[in-house]
Chains A and B, each alone.
Chain A
């Protein structure tokens, strides 16, 4: 039991004293994941909507592939991105291995299937209600996709939050492509791994607690905001 109190105390201490190292890894964690999440949404939301609303050859296959990519282990993604970004790999000339950019790319590979897959599911349910309308109005594809995304925006928040959760919590990919370099690519999860292997268990757990608190805060804010806005627009 002692270690729980120890780590809670350590967590409070780290937060109250605004520990410099903590702030650094904390913000890098969020910087990497937010950028990856943003890019994934930019691609994944339209892609998912497109898959849900359009019928074409190979559509089912594509949906199946995207859904199975959701279960990719982060380590495999890390390895895949590492092989490509390595100086001996095809994109080695970019010179971005062991930088935050490499971590962002790895997280996009992880998050994109989640966003696209969940979006497909959410929009598909909606599509039955609107399909006839859009067909009869002969709306262009881009307009249709935009309309669907805007209409489903509150449900799509779930997909975005799932992507955020995956990105912020994974360690397997970023530790391979980032290398856990001090002041450069060290994030919350890689720090936790490192402190665990130093035997600093209570510090590692304390960092976990801080990550959890942040995650809860974000989720609560977004959820409350979502229902507030929903009430205002649609009433209840």
Chain B
């Protein structure tokens, strides 16, 4: 019995000791759900020998986790929230990685009649017609962007009636599932949408608008704030990601022949 316990403990310790050459990447969910990491991490491992462990949560949660020093590298997509992060001294600079666009998706029969409208007019139409709209409501980058659009129309989304404006407080995918279930419109990043499987008859409205640009930035978590962070390894991964070489990989990532991410 004692031997058994000891061997279990040894087993536990083995699983505790991680490979030294690994970093923790706090990331937004969209990059994981779109298959970006499944695609790019093997290349990083091949070139650098660094294992990147991705923790995918919403942008808000990823930034909060990073502020607790539970990460070495951060990739998110919400410039305003990143600004606060940098102002608090957790990162010196935001490094551009890639971008794509936010889109409005909704049922094909288009109950609010928003086809051919730009995003602001579409949002106005949702408000006027009180069409079902599903919001993330989880302080993620996408949620933040959506709230900004309402704000730019001088509408206060927090005062909207739950009769038509529903906040799920969950991940992008779960929110799209809800929208599909309720035949409602929702706001999402294009990469998640393109790789999403449970679309039914849903289609994209207001596509590729320049003011709907969705920029993914990386941050090295400051070693001043977090002495334990593996900033050297994180730096190597970051310079790999922003190299010309990686740009080739990024633009080659496709889902059904549609490019998921763009680089400048």
What are the 3 A-B residue pairs with the smallest beta carbon separation, nearest first? Answer: A197-B173, A199-B198, A179-B55
Docked-complex contact A181 and B69, CB < 8 angstroms: no
* A180 in contact with B55 given A104-B12, A198-B173 (CB within 8 Å): yes
A-B interface contact total, Cβ < 8 Å: 86
**Cα distance A62–B174 in the bound complex, in angstroms:** 40
Q: Is A129 an interface residue (CB 8 A)?
A: no
Judged by DSSP, the binding face of A is loop
Q: How large is the interface on A (under 10, 10 to 19, 20 to 34, 35 or more residues)?
A: 20 to 34
Q: List chain B residues, Cβ under 8 A from A98.
A: 24, 53, 55, 70
Could you tell me if A199 and B16 are in contact, using CB atoms closer than 8 angstroms?
Answer: no
Listed in ascending order, the chain A residues whose CB lies under 8 Å from chain B are: 31, 35, 38, 42, 86-89, 92, 95-101, 104, 179-182, 184, 194, 196-201
Chain A residues with Cβ below 8 Å from B11 are 35
CA distance A87 to B72 in the complex (A): 11
Given contacts A101-B15, A196-B177, contact A89 B68 (CB under 8 A): yes
**B37 → chain A, closest Cβ, in Å?**
8
Is there an interface contact between A99 and B197, defined as CB atoms closer than 8 Å?
A: no
Whether the pair B55, A86 counts as a contact (CB closer than 8 A) is: no
Nearest CB on A from B70, distance (A): 5
With A and B bound together, what is the CA distance between A31 and B14 in angstroms?
A: 13
Q: Is the CB of B228 within 8 A of A95?
A: yes
B33 touches A198 (CB 8 A): yes
In the complex, 16 of the A-B residue pairs with CB atoms within 8 angstroms, ordered by the A residue number, are A31-B15, A86-B65, A86-B68, A86-B69, A95-B228, A101-B12, A180-B56, A182-B53, A184-B53, A194-B33, A197-B33, A198-B33, A198-B197, A199-B176, A199-B196, A199-B197
**A96, closest chain B residue (CB):** B16
